[in-house]
Structure 1
Amino acid sequence: MTLDFDFDLFVIGGGSGGVRAARIAASEGGAKVGLAEESRMGGTCVIRGCVPKKLMVFASEYPDMIADAKAYGWDVQSGPLDWRGFRSKLEAELDRLETAYRNTLKSAGVTVYDARAVVVDPHCVRLADGREFSTKHILIATGGQPFVPQFEGRELAITSNDIFHLDALPKRALVVGGGYIASEFACILNGLGVKVSQYYRGAQILRGFDDEARGHVANQMAANGIAIHCGTDVERLEQREGGICAVATDGSTAEFDLVLYATGRVPNVAGLGLEALGVGLGRRGEVLVDDWSQTAVPSIYAVGDVTDRINLTPVAIREGHAFADTVFRGIATKADHDLVASAVFTQPELGSIGLSEEAAREAGPCEIYAASFRPMRSLFAGRQDKVLMKLVVCATTRRVLGCHIVGPNAGEMIQLAAIAVKMGATKEDFDRTVAVHPTMSEELVTMRKPVRIF
């Protein structure tokens, strides 16, 4: 396919979206593909995000599981976590996954460069060592990075990039932020035995999710021992003999061994050379693209978190695949950003797809079906946690517009519920489905009367 270019496609970024695009373009599109990654192959999800975080979630759940086992009659004892042993095994798993990513690219015929790359012109990229390559198409897939605002003492804080490499777990930790990353790590650290406080400047954590669902999560987090302070932000951090002192905007002070900032992420575009070429950037630095992931410069495309559309790994993969199908396989494909399910791996988990109750009320007449109850497993063990099952239904078409689940394995359940919602299932379709008993999820098909009508 290559004519006067060194490559048909050069991908900058070795995360999930970039790797998928490179592999499909090379193995199925017959393209000559180069890819540059300045850090580790696999990107945020594999190395600094989804995978290590979920393994930490698993580790943090064992204390409750051991307590439940005792309640069920098992003679088990809980000792302290061997953090260094866990971290060593975690690092080995990430090494294995990185090798798998590299092997996948190698098998597809992609040439990989372990170096930073920048864009010189619409058909040329330059590596950090000075080598330049001409290319017919360029794909920007550099993802995002944690954002820490400017304030006095910010150098004393760490981000989610650093949490996996701690030499030891702290005794006291402050998590700053109210999004899913902050809330997940607050729960993880709490489950690992750390005394956790969470500061969030907003009125309630998990902004953007259904109000009832996020309130349910917040209440359970508080019941589990996390001190959530909404309407609170850090004014400054000070290093003191007893630890890091956080001076809050409400005038309070508290000392911690660790301060984790999870106040958002920003697109990784600094120094790539995009603006000088006419590639549009948004207010937050995101690369502006059309429905085909194409920028204002026809030969330059972008996928994944760097575009700040829906910042989820499966979405980046779909965007990368759609780009390769369109440009190199002759199959015009747009990534579908409608009705994308998501899960927040707090304790309890939150799974969500579609409209929140608040959004549905603004859209038109709707009915709300909800049930909150103590699940059988933990009820028997004497725990007080509750599950929430919720459906948002259009009053005129009867379509299920949203589904929100709070409870154990909510992420697993929402994946299956998402299929029905994506297909346009009605409330009556749910009603016709026979329940699987005894399960938590049977509530999704047994709720008959709306709790609210708008």
Structure 2
Amino acid sequence: MKKYDYIVIGSGPVANSFSSELKDSNKKVLIVEGDAFGGICPNYGCEPKIFLEGAVKTVLMSRQLSGKGISQPATINWEDLMKRKKQTFEAHPENAIKGMQSNHADTLIGTASFIDSHTLKVNGEEIYGEKIVIATGQKPNKLPIEGSELTFSSNDVLSLDYLPKNVVLIGGGYIGMELAVILNAAGAHVEIVEFADRALTAFYWEHVKDVVQEMEDQGIIFHFNHAVSNVEKNGEKYVVASKQGLTIETDYVVDASGRVPNIDNLNLDEVGIEHDRGGVLVNDYLETNVKGVYAAGDVVSKDPLVAPKLTPTSAYEGEYLSDYFEGKTDTPIKYPVIGSAAFTFPQIAQAGVSVSEALENEDYEVVHHDLTSDYFYTGTNDYNAKLTLVFDHNNRLVGASEVSQTAADDINNFIDIIGMDVDKREWKETFLPIFPAISYKTRIFI
């Protein structure tokens, strides 16, 4: 039986940062992957999505500037764009393997399942690990409805060779909203069916309304307060029906109802590893109830307000575990300020104390800024640009939310300030950003 000091199940950001931190140690590390090496983000998720967004954002910005300096808005050739996307990302799994091997970790492709707290079975072989880290992430959810087998996932959309004429997306969260923007900009007619009465429930509603309005202006149709009951095939078409009586005929149906923990094949119950609907349960050291077995990344059940399920969070947890295992720290994990964004058009982003929470708590001061007259935003006709900042009673910035074409980059400029925990005066005496760059805005509004 092969023996390792540490085994990581899953090859995403947890494994990448974990192996990188341990590359100069003398520990034997094994990374096991049951799908494409590198995990969801570079193969089926955020990285291909942001690649496509480069063309999408260019098209939508050119539409915004039509008649305002741009005479002919850009258009997308989906087939060419997808061909280039596949060429760009096809080598990633092999490169991920080489990267982890360069960190002196062994790699193995196969589905891992627990035999006991220190032993895994992979490809029929038993492998021992002194410590084992579950980092299998999440997988696309499948709604428990009649005809669910007819629906496609976000993974499928990001590899579509040909653009469907009509698309229905079930769900108005991150995945549904981002995919809707991409497909609509490329020329598809898009409709979103959402169970709740609003989209992007994790974000400040006043900013979400601007996103929804812009998407509607671009031709995307929303159906809120509708629970999809079934999907049927009617010849070459699909029919999506809701319990409330909605019926839509379309060419393609995407189940964008979210993601669920990827734990089905791990045999957790047999070993007694506790988990719930949100994922594997861990303590403040990322250890499960079974000694020697840990979990990190999106597979963990955690508070989204403290540790949202995002790539940077996963990488941070991988770094923490490497330090904890090697005795470089003995303290519980403490999360930094973590920003989140939906790469819609316009984008929406936030960090720190949410605006909704602050508005319900008199200990906070909430300040709204309309950015639409600012030179940076008028240059791209960004008529949705709005920023909201949250300050505590000590005049320290503790939260930020923005809707704009550049919201993700803008909010990144505020994350450091929130994390530094300094008041306005201290920050202005310490930093002087570049002008006229977008980061200078932090000095104006802090």
TM over 0.5: yes
1:274-318 CA-to-partner distances (Å, cap 9, x unmatched) read 22222111233x111112111111111111011033210111011
Q: Is the 8 A contact 2:410 2:438 kept in 1?
A: no
Q: 1:409 aligns with which of 403, 406, 420?
A: 406
Q: 2:293 aligns with which of 284, 289, 300?
A: 300
- Flag the 1:427–1:211 CA change in 2: closer, same or farther, 3 A: farther
What amino acid maps onto 1:155 in structure 2?
A: E
Q: Name the SS of the counterpart of 1:419 in structure 2.
A: helix
Taking the aligned partners of 2:264 and 2:293, their CA distance within structure 1 comes to 16
Q: Is the 8 A contact 2:226 2:246 kept in 1?
A: no
Taking the aligned partners of 1:208 and 1:83, their CA distance within structure 2 comes to 31
Indicate whether 1:21 and 2:21 are aligned: no
Which residues of 2 match residues 13-162 of structure 1 at below 5 A?
Answer: 13-25=10-22, 27-67=23-63, 71=67, 73=69, 78-79=74-75, 81-128=76-123, 130-162=124-156
Q: Name the SS of the counterpart of 2:91 in structure 1.
A: helix
Judge which range, 336-345 or 424-433, deviates more: 424-433
Taking the aligned partners of 2:424 and 2:435, their CA distance within structure 1 comes to 20
- Flag the 1:447–1:384 CA change in 2: closer, same or farther, 3 A: closer
What amino acid maps onto 2:24 in structure 1?
A: E
Q: Name the SS of the counterpart of 1:161 in structure 2.
A: helix
Which residues of 2 match residues 257-406 of structure 1 at below 5 A?
Answer: 257-284=251-278, 286-309=279-302, 310-332=308-330, 334-374=332-372, 376=375, 379=378, 383=381, 385-394=383-392, 396-406=393-403
Q: CA deviation at 1:153?
A: 1.6
Taking the aligned partners of 1:70 and 1:207, their CA distance within structure 2 comes to 32
Q: Name the SS of the counterpart of 2:260 in structure 1.
A: strand
Taking the aligned partners of 2:324 and 2:376, their CA distance within structure 1 comes to 48
1:209 aligns with 203
For structure 1, the 5+ residue unaligned runs are 449-454
For structure 2, the 5+ residue unaligned runs are 303-307
- Flag the 1:407–1:205 CA change in 2: closer, same or farther, 3 A: same
Q: CA deviation at 1:443?
A: 5.3
Indicate whether 1:244 and 2:238 are aligned: yes
1:118-146 CA-to-partner distances (Å, cap 9, x unmatched) read 11111111112x11112211111100111
- Flag the 1:337–1:71 CA change in 2: closer, same or farther, 3 A: same
Aligned residues, how many? 439
1:234-288 CA-to-partner distances (Å, cap 9, x unmatched) read 122121246211112331212111111111211111131222222111233x111
1:198 aligns with 192
Judge which range, 351-360 or 45-54, deviates more: 351-360
- Flag the 1:308–1:182 CA change in 2: closer, same or farther, 3 A: farther
Taking the aligned partners of 1:357 and 1:367, their CA distance within structure 2 comes to 10
Judge which range, 189-198 or 364-373, deviates more: 364-373
Taking the aligned partners of 1:378 and 1:21, their CA distance within structure 2 comes to 40
Q: Is the 8 A contact 1:202 1:232 kept in 2?
A: yes
What amino acid maps onto 1:91 in structure 2?
A: K
1:452 aligns with none
Taking the aligned partners of 1:331 and 1:384, their CA distance within structure 2 comes to 46
Percent of matched pairs sharing the same residue: 27
Taking the aligned partners of 2:331 and 2:106, their CA distance within structure 1 comes to 25
Judge which range, 365-374 or 431-440, deviates more: 431-440
Q: Name the SS of the counterpart of 1:137 in structure 2.
A: strand
Q: Name the SS of the counterpart of 2:16 in structure 1.
A: helix
What amino acid maps onto 1:142 in structure 2?
A: T
Which residues of 2 match residues 432-451 of structure 1 at below 5 A?
Answer: 444-447=442-445
Indicate whether 1:424 and 2:418 are aligned: no
- Flag the 1:186–1:280 CA change in 2: closer, same or farther, 3 A: same
Taking the aligned partners of 2:50 and 2:28, their CA distance within structure 1 comes to 35
Taking the aligned partners of 2:370 and 2:73, their CA distance within structure 1 comes to 32
TM-score, normalised with respect to structure 1: 0.89
TM-score, normalised with respect to structure 2: 0.91
Taking the aligned partners of 1:430 and 1:210, their CA distance within structure 2 comes to 26
Taking the aligned partners of 1:429 and 1:262, their CA distance within structure 2 comes to 44
Indicate whether 1:6 and 2:3 are aligned: yes
Judge which range, 172-181 or 358-367, deviates more: 358-367
Q: Is the 8 A contact 2:37 2:97 kept in 1?
A: yes
What amino acid maps onto 1:393 in structure 2?
A: F
Indicate whether 1:229 and 2:226 are aligned: no
Q: Is the 8 A contact 1:122 1:297 kept in 2?
A: yes
RMSD: 2.5
- Flag the 1:69–1:138 CA change in 2: closer, same or farther, 3 A: same
Q: Name the SS of the counterpart of 1:23 in structure 2.
A: helix
- Flag the 1:333–1:15 CA change in 2: closer, same or farther, 3 A: farther
Q: CA deviation at 1:378?
A: 6.5
1:166-200 CA-to-partner distances (Å, cap 9, x unmatched) read 23111111111121111111111111111111111
Q: Name the SS of the counterpart of 1:320 in structure 2.
A: helix
Taking the aligned partners of 1:92 and 1:115, their CA distance within structure 2 comes to 25
1:23-61 CA-to-partner distances (Å, cap 9, x unmatched) read 323x13321111211111110111111101111211212
Taking the aligned partners of 2:178 and 2:407, their CA distance within structure 1 comes to 14
Taking the aligned partners of 1:385 and 1:175, their CA distance within structure 2 comes to 27
Taking the aligned partners of 2:366 and 2:258, their CA distance within structure 1 comes to 31
What amino acid maps onto 1:119 in structure 2?
A: F
1:451 aligns with none
